[in-house]
Structures are given as structure tokens and as C-alpha cells.
Structure 1
Amino acid sequence: MDKKNTEEQKRLDAHYSNQEDWLQWGPYLSERQWGTVREDYSPQGDAWGYFPHDHARSRVYRWGEDGLAGFTDKYCNVCFGLALWNGNDAILKERLFGLTGPEGNHGEDVKEQYYYLENTPTHSYMKHLYKYPQAKFPYGDLVRENQKRDRKAEEYELIDTGVFDNNAYFDVVTEYAKAGPKDICVKISVTNRNTKKAKLHVLPQLWIRNFWSFRDMPFKPSITKNEDDKNSVHVKHPYTGDYNFYFETPDHLLFTENETNDERLYLQPNDHPYKKDFFHTAVINKDFRLAKKKQEGTKFAPHYKRKLKGGETVVFKLRLTTETLTNAFSADFDTLFTQRYQECVDFYEGVNQIKDVEAKGIQRQAFAGLLWSKQYYNYEVEQWLKGDPKVSTPPEARKSGRNSNWKTLRNHDIHLMPDKWEYPWYAAWDSAFHCITMAYVDPEFAKKQLLLFTKEWYMAPNGQIPAYEWNFSDVNPPTQAFAALQIYKIERDTIGKQDIDFLKRIFNKLSLNFTWWVNQEDRRQNNVFQGGFLGLDNIGVFDRSSGIPGNAHLEQVDGTSWMALYCLNMLEISIKIAFEDPSYEEMATKFFGHFIFIAEALNKLNEDYEGTWDEEEGFFYDKLVFEDGSFQPIKVRSIVGIMSLIAVLHISKETLDRLPNFKYSVNWFRKYRKANLKYQVIQEFSEESDLLLALVPKERVEIMLKAVFDKDEFLSDHGLRSLSKIHEETYKIDINGTNYEIKYEPAESESSMFGGNSNWRGPVWMPFNYLFVTAIKEFRDYYGKNLEVEYPTGSGNILGLNEIRNDLMKRLLTLFQTDENGDRPVNAQHSEIYKDPHFKDLVMFYEYFHGDTGRGIGASHQTGWTALIANMINEIY
């Protein structure tokens, strides 16, 4: 099946040609709005404490909404999501529960079982699975047990509580199928997995985001019962226009207002009883007297009560549309779901026509998770700092607190989130990785998303790209140029489009950001970079983001490597643009020269300054430089050092011949500058050959690869570890009388130094592996069979780089594949339950993976960067 000819691709084409807005509605509802920075109006910035989960059901959000298996328009005006009640819980289940940062023994973590099964780029078909226990949901048990456990113990998960024993749960499958851009059909299928009867209340909720409490609106929106159709309500909204919401005959019609229950939260009298949590009161207390009096509101749900036999499935049908229908659930309704599902299958067959059924299923779930992780994100810093006069004015301390220097930032967009519960906010460098995978299914969205961060309402006037909402001023790795190239190449190779206009737009803006980096993060102006938090912040002996010990500064291998890669990416982009616009040849020369100086500095700058290479140990180490000019290497063998290998670019002779001015500059460097370099970083180049630009010279590459491919160091059965196993024996260092140390930790971190569940001290991390296999391809393209190494180290097997690259990608894929016992390494903590027929085909894409076993660790739905496995599946097959 050719993807170009699929119905889903036709919808995408219609959307991007402005014929029909197929992306007006989608899975843009957050999974957690509580506990976020943008909802935090406390004096000192206590996001978790200011807006806890217990408040969420009763308190109005200011900057968004959240829900279970949700759906909303692209500005989060009208929202849809599930509410469930098993008859035992103290509250309705209408949002996902998880531990806050201070509550978990390994930081914040969602404590639910849910899976993203299907999704298409236009969200014409979506499928979500939520597993709802029939016993009382163990909120207290999850908190208490995790608080009792120390960092050496595993996290206590929902499965561990026993609530899924004997299959005493419901499978709740929510499917969406679009009949048109403004006609969304919903089907909720609930199955009792137990053999015994079980009661369940289902409330498909439709509600309107509350603006009226905070700002003036043309009129207050409403959801009103249709007089001529008892099984529908009418939505009137000044921003979305009018919609009808159809449903099958319920037991009750429930209306309330999406407004704060002041009485419950603040012991202040309410002006009326119909508040945000009114459904909890009515359903759980079985008291519908007040409910019967209300026929309109801003939050609505048809309420269904069902008793399901063992193994029974019940289905609920709903529809949100601008049309007025006499039969919303005709035979065409079910036919539509069948049709959209098949179109989903056809579309992904066109993405990769692989024969391996299991790999195909893993890739489909990776793409589904990526698409489900789209979220509406609203955060206008200046307004947030000022507060809303209609409600209250924030404390004075906020005006000079978190993000107060980012008043130009105004976010009001759809973003690919790393994880919609654990990270329901973007991190700019994470988003770049998400876009690389998105390029396979929706390259236009990927390009627009990447460009978004360079807009004037995102990028600061000085050229800095915002990091993430906890601190927009933090320094994230500059991954945008790398992502732009990957997107360009994927689109070129899959559909034949070479979008030079995109490259020009991103290049021009990133030139500003590159200059910001050079001016801000090269303290001694010697092209060796610092930067603090560079994505690998928590792999060192101290926190590089919160001050360097000994009044020193840290010259970082990874900071320098990121900038070298940035240089090469900008160089390659300018070359591709120069094929059409020769004026960009000058920019190619500029970045070429800058790269040479960075490479020289990392290896050896001059007679008075040693680079970061350790000749004796054959590795790059960070260097602590003191005020008197003395220095102390920090000999931690980690991906910080290996990052030096990712900065590599192969430029063919044909390319050089097409760009005579650039070629002249390269030859000038070779003739007049190369002899003066203390380390030869322009390697094996003559006028009539290809050119290889590599931060690490060939002989050092070969030395480093011995460590990288050593099973006792970095090479695991499931990819490359982030820290060498030689640090199973703790590495210790004395800095000005203070002892620091680090050790190999293959799973959860045993240190609280970095907060959350941060851990790059051993696990396998997908983005680094992706960067590495991408770099290996550049070396392979240049050296061919002239560079073969032992793989694994000590095995006696001499392999070419292409064979090694393929093996590394296959090792990463084994994380998600079943082994000879039917187990997936990612599920190692709960392998028995994942042998159950109703669990066995479900895959989650964790934040990182155990360095020895491959067990999933950290955020369980890290479908942003871990979705990169989909890219590698395309290359493997």
C-alpha cells in the first residue's frame, strides 16, 4: 500500500491545503493539569502542593483542562472525557492518579494502567484502553507504600497492589472515528474481565473550559438540553460555534457548572450548589434530587448504570457534531468505525511494509502513543505573573520569581508532549526528538512544531529557546538543527519532497540561537563549552545545574560535543540550501570554520592547554578548571564522553564540486590552516576525495569504540548504557576537600540530588542510542570497509560499521519484543501479568530502560523520545 494513495493521507493533504480542518479536534486534552507550574499561584512556586490531585475534581483550572481518554478542540474550549465509578471508590474516576515528586521513592509517577492502541495523524481514528479495577482504587496504599520504600527499592505500582488479581477489573476501550472534521463519533466498550458480575457507572462527560471566571467573554457558553430530542444537548460557544452532542438513553441527565467548589476547598459559602464536583456528590450519594432541577450548565454527562456478567461487554455510543441529526446512531455509525480502522491499517502499511508482524505492531503502538501525546498547551507568562483581577492578585514574590524574565513567552498551541501525565509540558530539546518520529507520519506537523520554538512568542529576544515550564531559562541541548535535518531527509526519502523553504526558515532562526549559545556558554572563549544542564546533567558526581564546586567552571565534553554537532548540522543545512541559493555557501564556510576550532579545542588547543582527551585511558572527560588556571579531570566514563562521537559529517566529492566557493574554503583550510593545528581534525582529505568532518579523529574513534562495544562497559543486550559498568565500583573524587562520588545504577536512581526520577547513571536511553547509530552511518558512508572493529569487544568478531549499526538497532528493538519465553524485557517487573491474554500484546514506551535487564523505568508513557524505536524499525526492515 502506497501511503500517498491512502484515505488518511488524502485527509492530511486536504488539511494542509486549507480545504478542510481535519486537525481542529484531537486528543489534545491533558492527562494532568493539576500540579503544573502554570496552575501554581503560590508565593514560592510549590506547584505540587498548591494544586494537588485532591483539589482537581473541585477546583477550576486556569490554563487548560485534563481528563481520561480525552478529546478537545485545538484551543481546549470544549472538552470530552470519561468518568467511571465502580461503586466502591470515594470519588469518580475522571482523571489519572499518580504520585507527586515528594511522595514517590523515585519521584513523580502515574499509578494507572492505560494504553494508546491506535491513532492516525488527522485523528480520524483513535483507540485507547483503560483498565479500571472493580475493587476500591488503592489511592492511600499507593502513597503510603511508596513513601515507606527507599530509593534502593522498586516503585510500588498499581499492579503490585493486587487489584488486578483474578481479573477483577474492567477493560474500558474508547474509540473515536471522525465522520468529518466537525463530526466526531465515540464508542466506549466496557468488558468485565472477571467471571463474576460487577457494577459500573459510566459518565461520558462534555464540559466547557472556564474563561468567564477569569476574563470577559462575548457571552458565557452553555450546554443545554434539546427540547425536541431527549437524547441530545446543544453546545453554544462564542469561539467554537454551536454543536450537538448525541447519546443513547441514559439513566440520568446530569448538568452542573465548571466552577470551583469554594465550600469544600476553602470553607467559603457557594453561590449555588452546582459546582465542578457535583457529579461526584450525586452519583456516589445516589441523590439525584438537585440534578433533576438543572437542565443546562457548562458541564454535562449522561449517566449510565450497568451490571455486567462475567466476560460481558457493553457499548455506549456518542456523537459530537455541528449537524442536526434525526438518527445519530444508524447503521452507518458502526460502519464508520470499521472503515476508519481499516484506513488506519492501510496508512501504516504505507509507512513501512514490513513482514514481521510483531515489529509492525510495536511500531503502530509507538506511532499511536506519539499521536495521543499531542496536547493543548497554554501559558502566557506576563498574564500569569499579573494574575486575573476578576479572581485574585498573585503574591508580590511571584513578580520576581519563576520565569519572571520570560514575559514575552505566550504559548497557545498544540504540542507533542514527552508524557501527558508525567511531563504535561514541552521540553524544547525533547520535542525535537518527537518531531523526528512524527516526520514519518505527518512531516508537515513535525516541521511546524519545530519552527514553533523559533517564533517570537517562544524564542527570547536574545535568541534563547525556552527550556521547559519549571525554568524556561535552563539550558537544554541544541537539538533543533539535528531534528530539522532528520525531518528533511525522512520527508525526502519517503515522499520525495525536498523542502528547502523549511530549511531556510529554521536555519535563519537557529542562527540567532547559535549566536546566543556562543555568547553565553563559552566562558573562556576557547570553543570549549559549559552549559550546566545539557540533558545529561545527572550523570556526573555533582549537579552541574546548581553551581560548580571550588569556585571553578566545568568544561564539558557533552556541551562541546553538542555545539560541534550544532555546527555540523548548520553546515549541512546551509549546503542543502546553497544548492538552490548560492548565497548560503558563505554560511557553510562560516560553520565549517567554527567546527574546526571546536574540534581542535576539544582535542588539544595549544601548548599551554590540554584538551579533554585522556591519552592514558583513551576517553574524553569533563574538566574542572579553577581560578588559577589549574584543572582537575573528572574521570567518569559515561555518555558525556561518548557524545563526542556524534559530531560527524560526511560530505561527498559531488557536493563539494557543486559548491566551488565552499570547496575553495575547505582547500584553503587544508593548505594554510591544517599545518598549524595542534591536532589534525581535517582527516584524510585531498582535493579529489570526499570530506569527513569528525570531532574525534579516527585513531581515537577506534580506541573509544573498544569501550563503547564492551559488554563490561557500555554495550548491553538492549542497547548502549549511559554509564560504564566499571563504575559498579564507586568512582570517588575529592574537590577542594569535599568528596563526590558516582556509581553504576542500572535501574532507578539511588540519589535524590537531581529530583524527580532522573537517572542517567546506567539505564539505556533511546535518544542517545539514536544519535549514536546516526553518527555511525556517517562514519560508515565515509570509511566503508576501511573501518572495521571488534564487536563485541573481546569476542574476536571483526565487523563493519553497517553490521554493527544494524545490530545495535536490533538490540534496542528487543526491549519490546517477546523472547523465547514469551516475555518482553520492558515488562520484566510484571512479566507474569503480561502473559495474560488481555495484557500480552500491550506495549508501553518507558522513559529509559534497565541497563542489564531492559526493564522499563521512569515515565511509563514516554511516547515522545522512546517512539524513536519506530524510526529504527523502519531501518531494520
Structure 2
Amino acid sequence: MSKSISAEKLRLNTRKDNKGWKKWGPYLSERQWGTVREDYSANQDAWNSVTHDMARSIAYRWGEEGIAGISDNKSHICFGLAFWNHNDHILKERLFGLTGSESNHGEDVKELYYYLDSTPTHSYMKMLYKYPINSYPYDQLVSESRKRSRLEPEYEILDTGVFDNNEYFDIFIEYSKADEQDILIKITAHNRSKKAAPLTILPTVWFRNTWSWGYENYKYKPMMTGVAKKAIDIDNKNIGHYKLYCENAQELLFCENETNFERLYKVGNASPYCKDGINDYIVNDIKTAVNPNNIGTKAAARYTKTVKAGDSYTVRLRLVDHSILEPFGGFEDTMDKRIREGNQFYEEVQQGVENPELLKIQRQAYAGMLWTKQWYYYNINEWIKGDPAMPKPSEYRKYGRNAGWRHMYSANILSMPDKWEYPWFAAWDLAFHTLPLARVDPDFAKRQLAVVLREYYMHPNGQIPAYEWSFSDVNPPVHAWATWRVYEIDKEMNGKGDIAFLEKIFHKLLLNFTWWVNLKDEGGNNIFGGGFLGMDNIGVFDRSATLPTGGRLEQADGTGWMAMYSLNMLRIAVEIALERPVYQDMASKFFEHFLHIAGAMQSLGGDEISLWDEEDQFYYDMLHLPNNNSMLLKIRSMVGLIPLFAVEVLTPEMLEKLPDFRRRVEWVLANRPDLASLISRWYESGKGESRLLAILRGHRMKMIMKRMFDETEFLSDFGIRSLSKYHLENPYQFRVNGDVLRVDYTPAESTGSMFGGNSNWRGPIWFPMNFLLIDSLMKFQEYYGNDYEVEYPTNSGNMVSIKEAALSISERLINLFTENSEGRRPMYEKYEKMQSDPHFKDLILFNEYFDGDTGKGLGAAHQTGWTGLVAELILSVSKAEKGRFKEAKV
């Protein structure tokens, strides 16, 4: 008897877009201030153009923010939470953090919050926010952080002592949909202290301001009105009529989502009830700050309660598109039902994972991926020109940041790297996000890959926009790889591959591939540059800037990425060709591209100089100086491991079904034996008569793996470092213009200011690169099989298959999150509260990167984007454990 499909999966199958059950979701940013979109300054100083202090008083142009915020799929109606502990000088209406200039390691949120659960349709969501009972240490965080040098760690909220005596509220926010546009909201505040404490909860609803900018089509101003103390009527012709029912509210408060010009700029206001009116009414007791007629474009229900020690207080609301006589009838039953349905859905998704701790970590990883969606709005042409009702922006804007991207117009639900620290889409981050997302919502994952390749994102020249601060930066070309992996996951889960999806993406990627070939192969020799390629400060100088030496740089990583790109496109073309034979021509094209790139990496088109250094047995970048001299920059970094990514296996079954492709391949190999002998093992059969395409031949592959598996170099207890530990004792030094530039092993936060100093590729562990290495090792395993063994770790005498080495690296990465033999999670390092406190210890954060020695979590604390890949690793390791058990029994 077939297993019944879960209710959540049925909802997912109802529609494939962001409407229906997905129309409402966690689509608000957690920080709109300090973004490029809201920056109208003459000097492109986004962090000071709109600050945290200004945020409560300024109407945003391009988006909205809120704690645990939700909105419709265009953010016409927004809902979020505000709190007041009766000590702070402002409402806790938005999460606080430091700007790049305030912190010693770049922008940094200084709050404790956790995404605990979410279904892909957001039929149920749960989040936790920890709010201090005593004054939030705003000034202390800023002043202490400014004192610290880049050589010191960041000053975190736990370092302030504000949580030391458990004097805080655990505030759980839950959303549950009774129907597509019927949302139950439950806020439960637990007083974790030993004393009674007052708390004001302000569930807040508001309209995104679309009426203040002077456009004819948007002069209409929507309206909210109060119905006694029971409900807020919400009327917006763009989305319809809603009610927010507020159970037992003590009062309803109304103001306008409009700028307080008087406070910010010392000029008169259009309305006496500005955006910060509710804040002024609650905190400063200014009665005239809210509209006594209970109308406006922003409204809140007030709930004030002194919560006894160890007790809790619950607030319930309901946001719905029709009237209900008893809005809270059956409330808890519906909430419980959606929780059960979510559990049923994840039982299927998490099949194969049996370890209870891994199940919990994986579930929180999925929750974070789903909570970190955002409606991202940015019309660059309007942003450059300015709005009719606003002062014209600086003329410099026409030539400054993103000026070459006037065609770009984003108004989509996108997966964010982090909704506070990086609340803007980043193209290469997003590619990695799609893998764990594909497990829970393959259609959403596929749409994410498609959207950044649309004509209103991709540049007419074929470049994919990088990220908001500079769309013209060059990120690694990982979208073909992600497309293939999402296709595989979708096929595995649904039993059938989506060829139409592959074909659609393939055509757009052709444009991007051509851009790379035309613009990033400066010497015309199939050796590529590209710039920083996402790995910020890994080199001796900024690879995106003009070289201080003059000349040009040829990059082992840029070239490795392009070889990988060629093979990804080859594999996609082969898959499509199995149904549509005409694509055999495209498969042949990318086969030849790969041959030329791989051959160039060996010999630079016939020159004696190569990116491969025979002495060190490693790949390096090459600097070509203006005097025609060339030199390798001998930094043992992730740059030299990236050629491992260029690997693909073709099976006899594929070739049998594609005779034209096979014939052309054999013709090329017969007529260019130089290329065939350099890079291909085509004429050597592997496991199951499969055929291997890879840059690295046997010896070079062995030498790269030997260095990568060396615990004194790249292999950490927690994964593969991005820089060899060799440089701890042997820093690389480069002399130019009388200065000595230096690269040494830095396991944690960046000690320099390159790229803002808020990330570091000189030693820490990054999930995306580790995941790609593991993925590549498994392809080598597919070809070589279990009979081929490597020493792992290097110099240990322990010989294992490539698969066992890959699984061990996966386990090391997973161990960042799991409790060790002492009951401690490495990612939380010294923070005893996070290690042992029952209200902290099982809450998982997903950091941007991790200390290469200790495993401490670093960077953005809620970067559930690419670190969410741990969900995939947990699945693969769990399945492998079952396989090992079966082999042992045999």
C-alpha cells in the first residue's frame, strides 16, 4: 500500500510560485537601514545615510524591516513585533547591530535570536528572540567594540553580562495558517529570571510606503482603522481588505509610516503622527504622538504585563482576509494541527537520518533557510534618477555604484545570505542555498536559479549581478553546478528529472559562459582572471583592484572555476541530449572548451611556464609584470585546491545513447593527442567502464590530496582550511614600491581591512568550498572505486578510499554543531551559557564561517545560506553510515 502524501506536500503541489499558500511568509528584512538601496548620500556612505537611530523615524523607499516579520509577497502589508522592557530608551522594534566603522570586524548584529521551525509554505513557523529585562547595552556595545583592534575578537552581547543572571525574556513567536490568507499569530514570553518584570508587547502592522515618492500610479494612500480594542481594519486596494484581530488588547495605537522630518532634518512634518509615533507614545509618554481617531498607515496593539519569575505571558492575534465572529475559536487546535503536519512533512524529508541530535540540527538548518527569504525590491533606473517628490540624488550617482546596471529591476522573493548582516541577494551565495532548499521545496529552489538569469537581472553582456554593493564584481561561476545538483535532488525525490528546467537554465548560462570567455581571458590563452571571485582577502593584494605592480594576474582559481563550468555545462547538455539529441552539439562544444582550459593549466598554451609548480607540487596564481617577466605567487591557499572541482564522470550508458557526441569526442582526442594525454583518462576505463574527465591527472591529483589531507596544512579537525597552516610559521611576503605585503595564516576573524575586514579567507573554514571539495571527491570515487586508496590524514599511515576521506571531512564539518565527548559544541567555544544552559545549549546558530583551529563560529551568526549545506552533509553521512553497517554485516 502506498504511503499517503503529507498535507504540507499537497499544499506545495497546489502551486509552484509564491502565491496561494506561499503568498504570506517571512518576507521582511531584519535590516533595511544601512543598505545601498536606501542610500541617497552624495558620497555613497550607506551606513551613515540611514543609521539605526534614524531607522525608527524614516520611511523607507525600497523595503521594510521587522523582528520575526512577515508580509505578503510584495510587502504591501507588513507585520512584525516590537517590545519594551520598561528600561530602554527606545522600543525594541528592530534588531540592533554595529556598522563597519563601529565594529573591529565589520558589520555585526548584536542580538540573540533563533529560527526554530518552518514548513516550506510557511503554514507553520516558529522563532525565538531573547530580550533582556534590564537596559539593552546599546552604548556599551558600540564603545567597547570601537576600542578593540582587529587582532582582538568581537565584543558580543553575551560579553556585556546582560544575560548573566538569566534576567531576560525568551519570546517565542509562532505563525500558523488556517488557510492561504488566514494567519494565526501567537507570542509567548517566558520570564527566565528570579524576579517579576514588566514587558510590553506591541504586535505591529503597517503598509509599506508607496505613496510619498510622487508617482502618478502610486498616489493612492491605504488606510487602517481601529474597531474598539478588538481589531484593526486594513484596507489596501493593491492587495485587498484584511482584519487583524487582537485578543484582549489593552489599546490600539495608530500613526503614519511617514518620515519624522522634524526630528531628523529640523523641518516641518506633513503629519503630526509620524513613523516613530508609537515609540514616542510608549517610551516617552507623548500622548499626542498617536492619532486619537484610531486611523493611520501603521498600527499596534498594546499588551503590558508584569510577568512573575519563571512564569509566561501569551498574546494571540489573527490576520485574515474576511470577518470572523469568533476569531479565536479553535485557535490552538489549528496551531497543533499545523505542527503535526510539519512533523509529518519532515519525517519524509529526513528519512535516513536516525541520530536524534543530527535530526534536530538538520531541522533547524531547514528552518533557517526558509525563514531567510526576503522580498527584494530594487529598480536601479529609478534609484539613479531619484523620485519626483524627493530631492534629486547627486549627479555622481549616474556614474557611481551600479550605474551600469540600469536595466536591473528586482521585485522578487529571494533567498538571502543573512537578513541582518547581508539583507541583499548575493548571486553565488544563492546558488549554494538552492541545494538544501531543493530538499524541502524544489520548485522554489529552481525559481531562485532562474530569477538571477532573467533579462531584468542578468546584464545584456551576460554577466550575472554579484551583490548590491557592487553588481559588477565577479563571483565564481557556480550556477551551472547548482543547477545540476538541484536537478539531481529533484529527480531523486520525485522520480523524474525536470528537463524543461535544465534547458531553460542552460540557454541563459550560455550567455554567461560567453561573457566569461570574452572578458576574463585577457591573454586569449584559456587562462582566466576574474578578480576576487568571492574569496575576499585570500591573496597578497586585492585581486579586483588595479595591481600595484602593473601587469595582469592569471588565476588558478579563475581557470579552475572555468574548467568546472565547462564540465557542468557538458553534463547538463548530455542529460538534455538523452531526450533531445540536437544537444549533442552543445555537449561537444563544452568538451572542447574543457580540453583547452585544462591543457592551458598544464602548459599555458605551450609555454614553459605553468600555474603548476613542480617544486611545491601545487597550483598558484601567476603575476605577469609589465617588463614581460612572470612569477608564481606561492601562497598555499584554496586557490590551489579549486582545480579539483573540474571533474566529471561519463558512463558507457550515456555514450551509447549519444553516438554523435561520442564520435566527435573520439575525433578530437585522436586529432589532438597532446590535449588528451595532458588531462584526460578517456582511454583508461574506471569502475564500471566509466570515463573520467578531470584537470588533475593521477600524480597531480595525489599530490593535491596529500597536501589537502595534511593536518599541518589544510586539514582541520572541523574541515578544510582556506589557507594552509604552513603560513603560520612561513608567511608569504611580497615586496612592491618599497612596501612588504604579507599573507600569514589567520584562523579566525580578519586582521586586515581589505574588503571591509568583516570576513577572512586566510585560514578559517567555509562551508561552500568544503562542500564543493567533498562533491568533487565523490566524483573521483565514482570513477576509481574502493580499490584506489589515499593516505588520510597525510603521514598517518591510514589508507582509505576517496569516499571514506570525503565522508570524514563531512563528519568534521558536522562536528562543529554537535556535542563532543565533553558535551560542548565547538562552534560556541568559550561561551559557557551556550554550552550548558538548558535554555541555550540546544539552540543552533549557522555562522558564516568557522575558526580553522577551534571551530568557533564567526562572521554573520545567522548565515543560514551556504552554511545550511550542513543539512545535505548530515543526509549523506547518515546514508553512508547505513551502507557501512550493511557492508559490515556482509
The equivalences for 1:207-606 within 5 A come to: 207-214=206-213, 215-216=215-216, 217=218, 219-226=220-227, 230-288=229-287, 291=290, 293-330=292-329, 332-353=330-351, 354-606=353-605
How far off its partner does 1:241 sit?
0.5
1:160–1:677 distance in 2 versus 1, CA, 3 Å: same
How far off its partner does 1:674 sit?
1.6
Contact 2:115 2:367 in 1 (8 A): yes
- Matching residue of 1:82: 81
1:2–1:21 distance in 2 versus 1, CA, 3 Å: farther
Letter of the 1:468 partner, please give it: Y
Q: For the residues of structure 2 that align with 1:256 and 1:762, how far apart are their CA atoms?
A: 50
Counterpart check, 1:198 vs 2:202? no
How far off its partner does 1:606 sit?
4.4
Q: Deviations over 1:162-186 (max 9, x none)?
A: 1101100001100000011110110
Q: For the residues of structure 2 that align with 1:291 and 1:375, how far apart are their CA atoms?
A: 30
Letter of the 1:265 partner, please give it: L
SS in 2 for 1:253: strand
How far off its partner does 1:275 sit?
0.4
Q: Deviations over 1:255-297 (max 9, x none)?
A: 0000000111011122332000001111112343664623110
Contact 1:129 1:171 in 2 (8 A): yes
Amino-acid identity (%): 50
- Matching residue of 1:800: 801
SS in 2 for 1:405: helix
- Matching residue of 1:631: 630
Q: For the residues of structure 2 that align with 1:698 and 1:2, how far apart are their CA atoms?
A: 47
Q: For the residues of structure 2 that align with 1:395 and 1:42, how far apart are their CA atoms?
A: 7
Contact 1:3 1:351 in 2 (8 A): no
Q: For the residues of structure 2 that align with 1:116 and 1:874, how far apart are their CA atoms?
A: 20
1:2–1:9 distance in 2 versus 1, CA, 3 Å: farther
How far off its partner does 1:738 sit?
3.9
The equivalences for 1:149-164 within 5 A come to: 149-164=148-163
SS in 1 for 2:131: strand
Contact 1:746 1:851 in 2 (8 A): yes
SS in 2 for 1:426: coil
Contact 1:417 1:426 in 2 (8 A): yes
- Matching residue of 1:608: 607
Q: For the residues of structure 2 that align with 1:607 and 1:450, how far apart are their CA atoms?
A: 38
Counterpart check, 1:715 vs 2:729? no
Contact 2:116 2:364 in 1 (8 A): yes
Contact 1:432 1:483 in 2 (8 A): yes
How far off its partner does 1:735 sit?
4.2
Contact 2:483 2:505 in 1 (8 A): yes
1:686–1:285 distance in 2 versus 1, CA, 3 Å: closer
1:736–1:343 distance in 2 versus 1, CA, 3 Å: same
- Matching residue of 1:760: 761
Q: Deviations over 1:786-822 (max 9, x none)?
A: 4211000111100001111111111110000011221
Q: For the residues of structure 1 that align with 2:833 and 2:572, how far apart are their CA atoms?
A: 49
- Matching residue of 1:838: 839
Contact 1:652 1:689 in 2 (8 A): yes
Q: For the residues of structure 2 that align with 1:445 and 1:680, how far apart are their CA atoms?
A: 38
SS in 1 for 2:135: coil
SS in 1 for 2:83: strand
Structure 2 length normalisation: TM-score?
0.96
The equivalences for 1:812-851 within 5 A come to: 812-851=813-852
Q: Deviations over 1:418-444 (max 9, x none)?
A: 000000001111100001111100000
SS in 2 for 1:590: helix
How far off its partner does 1:682 sit?
4.2
Letter of the 1:62 partner, please give it: R
Q: For the residues of structure 1 that align with 2:3 and 2:272, how far apart are their CA atoms?
A: 53
The equivalences for 1:134-173 within 5 A come to: 134-173=133-172
Counterpart check, 1:875 vs 2:876? yes
Contact 1:824 1:831 in 2 (8 A): no
Letter of the 1:694 partner, please give it: A
Q: For the residues of structure 2 that align with 1:682 and 1:593, how far apart are their CA atoms?
A: 15
Q: 707-716 or 214-223, which moves further after superposition?
A: 214-223
How far off its partner does 1:758 sit?
1.8
Contact 1:2 1:350 in 2 (8 A): no
Q: For the residues of structure 2 that align with 1:143 and 1:843, how far apart are their CA atoms?
A: 26
SS in 2 for 1:805: helix
Letter of the 1:9 partner, please give it: K
Letter of the 2:319 partner, please give it: L
Q: Deviations over 1:709-751 (max 9, x none)?
A: 0000011111111100000022212246542210101101111
Q: 619-628 or 861-870, which moves further after superposition?
A: 619-628
Q: 663-672 or 51-60, which moves further after superposition?
A: 663-672
Q: For the residues of structure 2 that align with 1:606 and 1:445, how far apart are their CA atoms?
A: 43
Contact 2:34 2:50 in 1 (8 A): yes
Letter of the 1:813 partner, please give it: I
Unaligned runs of 5+ in 2: 879-890
Letter of the 2:14 partner, please give it: A
Q: For the residues of structure 1 that align with 2:681 and 2:212, how far apart are their CA atoms?
A: 63
Q: For the residues of structure 2 that align with 1:432 and 1:222, how far apart are their CA atoms?
A: 39
Contact 1:191 1:314 in 2 (8 A): yes
- Matching residue of 2:882: none
- Matching residue of 1:705: 705
Contact 1:125 1:178 in 2 (8 A): yes
Q: Deviations over 1:391-415 (max 9, x none)?
A: 2211211111111111100000010
Letter of the 1:840 partner, please give it: K
How far off its partner does 1:684 sit?
4.2
Letter of the 2:346 partner, please give it: Y
SS in 1 for 2:756: coil
Letter of the 1:77 partner, please give it: H
1:195–1:596 distance in 2 versus 1, CA, 3 Å: same
Q: For the residues of structure 1 that align with 2:48 and 2:263, how far apart are their CA atoms?
A: 17
Number of equivalenced pairs: 873
Letter of the 2:331 partner, please give it: F
SS in 1 for 2:126: strand
Q: 763-772 or 385-394, which moves further after superposition?
A: 385-394
How far off its partner does 1:785 sit?
2.8
SS in 2 for 1:279: helix
Q: For the residues of structure 1 that align with 2:545 and 2:4, how far apart are their CA atoms?
A: 50
The equivalences for 1:639-658 within 5 A come to: 639-658=638-657
Contact 1:600 1:681 in 2 (8 A): no
SS in 2 for 1:167: coil
Letter of the 2:336 partner, please give it: T
Q: For the residues of structure 2 that align with 1:757 and 1:727, how far apart are their CA atoms?
A: 21
How far off its partner does 1:3 sit?
9.0
1:3–1:791 distance in 2 versus 1, CA, 3 Å: farther
Letter of the 2:715 partner, please give it: L
1:224–1:151 distance in 2 versus 1, CA, 3 Å: same
1:816–1:805 distance in 2 versus 1, CA, 3 Å: same
How far off its partner does 1:497 sit?
2.3
Q: For the residues of structure 2 that align with 1:558 and 1:49, how far apart are their CA atoms?
A: 35
SS in 1 for 2:421: coil
The equivalences for 1:658-737 within 5 A come to: 658-675=657-674, 679-685=678-684, 689-729=689-729, 730-735=731-736, 737=738
Unaligned runs of 5+ in 1: none
